[in-house]
Amino acid sequence: MLIPWQASIDVFRQVLGRHGVEPAAVTNVEAAWCAFAEFLQLEIGGIESTPESEADGFIVQWGRQSWSDNRPILAFTRQLAVVDVGDRADPHWQPELWQLDFEMTFDDGPRLIDLDSLDVQDTGFRFAPIGPLRAAALADARAEAQRHAPVRAAWITTPASSSLSFECVS
């Protein structure tokens, strides 16, 4: 089933619900990850569709951000390069980058204190195609994130809050 890019957030909410996750009140990060992994295997319409493109990717990020009152965060993000917007006849036309961002914020605790002082703050974007290659990229990204003790601690901690957004970032 091809999902219209504009419906991405609604479809992800449905997937979260099937995994018992409330977008605004996550109690289980692992269940949220499983929902995110399932969502990443769904085809999105309205994006660049060449296999070698970087039109559909994901990243896992962690650290502290000013918008979270400098509290620890863990975020799962899917990025789409949307091509069915704007005037494609314009010689300067570019696809719009949209990000579906699922962010979980944590209360400070001794195991999360160093989350922002790690030498890396994310897994880097992964653009593997949907299917077995994307499943392998998801497993690799999770393993990379889990190499860091504060990220592992966040993964098993109940978030203080969570939010889901879908917005243009370009």
Q: Per-residue confidence at 51, pLDDT binned at 50, 70, 90? A: low
d(CA 164, CA 158): 16
Mean pLDDT of 125-135: 95
Mean pLDDT of 95-103: 92
| Residue 119 vs residue 131, higher pLDDT | 131
Domain extents in the chain: 2-168
Q: Per-residue confidence at 117, pLDDT binned at 50, 70, 90? A: confident
Give the bridge partners for 2, in sequence order. 43
Mean pLDDT of the chain: 90
d(CA 114, CA 30): 21
The pLDDT, as a whole number, for residue 99 is 96
The DSSP H or E segment spanning 81 is strand 72-82
What is the tens place of the pLDDT at every residue in 60-72?
999 887 676 778 9
Q: Contacts for 83-88 with beta carbons within 8 Å, 24 or more apart?
A: 83/46, 83/47, 83/48, 83/55, 84/5, 84/46
3-state SS, residue 40: coil
